[in-house]
Amino acid sequence: MRVLGVDPGLTRCGIGVVDSLPGRRAELVAVGVAMSPAALSVDQRLLQIATELDTWMDAHVPDVVAVERVFAQHNVSTVMGTAQVAGLAMLAAARRGVPVAMHTPSEVKAAVTGSGRAPKEQVQRMVANILGLAEVPRPADAADALAIAICHLWRPSAIMDKAERFAQTPAQRAWAAAEQAARRAKGTR
């Protein structure tokens, strides 16, 4: 399973792609940050991020997009921008028929570190450890996007989805594999 994780933000939107490996392991495919300068109008900033998200979706053809669920903060303008970018990620996925999953920050922290109250630095170190990276991905938004993707890979229903795929008939597995290959081929054009 390939997951594209999104840590939504109007100034910096973290994007990370991971593949699942046997034995509850994950492999880094790509990581980066879509940025939009504060000097631009909001509509132009959203357009820049939407374009970047489309590029990532087409280049990596994920099976699912995992987005961090937006929570109310004291700064309403920050919440608005974050929510708008989360909407862009969901729209990019919907246009391609890719399912979307939302995960809370505490859910992500618990999946990666075992504690829903883990500090940001611990989450980042665990992301590097899980993916076998020599150093923590920078900036923090990039590491957060990878944590969101890992969280989705390791959620109980993802494991069940995998078990259900193995329970399919050979014809069902062949059809699912052909469908996934066609989606990936479409994304590389």
Task: Write down the catalytic residue from 7, 52, 63, 144.
Answer: 7
Q: Let me know: does 148 contact 7? Beta carbons within 8 Å.
A: yes
Q: DSSP per residue over the chain, as a string?
A: -EEEEEE--SSEEEEEEEEEETTTEEEEEEEEEEE--TTS-HHHHHHHHHHHHHHHHHHH--SEEEEEPP---S-HHHHHHHHHHHHHHHHHHHHTT--EEEE-HHHHHHHHHS-TT--HHHHHHHHHHHTT-SS--SSHHHHHHHHHHHHHHHSHHHHHHHHHHHHS-HHHHHHHHHHHHHHHHHHH-
**Which one, of 87, 35, 30, lies nearest residue 60 by Cα?**
30
Fold designation for 2-155: Nucleotidyltransferase; domain 5 (3.30.420)
Report d(CA 34, CA 135) in Å as an integer.
Answer: 21
Q: Which residues of the chain have pLDDT under 70?
A: 72-74, 156-180, 183, 187-189
- Provide the residue type at 134 as one letter: A
Per-residue pLDDT at 185: 75
Q: Let me know: does 35 contact 12? Beta carbons within 8 Å.
A: yes
Task: Write down the catalytic residue from 52, 63, 68, 144.
Answer: 68
Per-residue pLDDT at 95: 97
Per-residue pLDDT at 44: 98
Q: In angstroms, how far is CA 105 from the centroid of its own chain?
A: 13
Task: Write down the catalytic residue from 52, 63, 141, 144.
Answer: 141
Residue 91's contacts (CB-CB under 8 Å, 6 or more residues apart) are 50
- Provide the residue type at 117 as one letter: R
Per-residue pLDDT at 11: 95
Annotated binding-site residues for Mg(2+) read: 7, 68, 141
Annotated binding-site residues read: 7, 68, 141
Per-residue pLDDT at 162: 45
pLDDT digits (tens, 9 = 90+) for 9-56: 999 999 999 999 998 899 999 999 999 999 999 999 999 999 999 999
Q: Has 7 been annotated as catalytic?
A: yes
Q: Has 141 been annotated as catalytic?
A: yes
Largest CA distance in the chain: 55
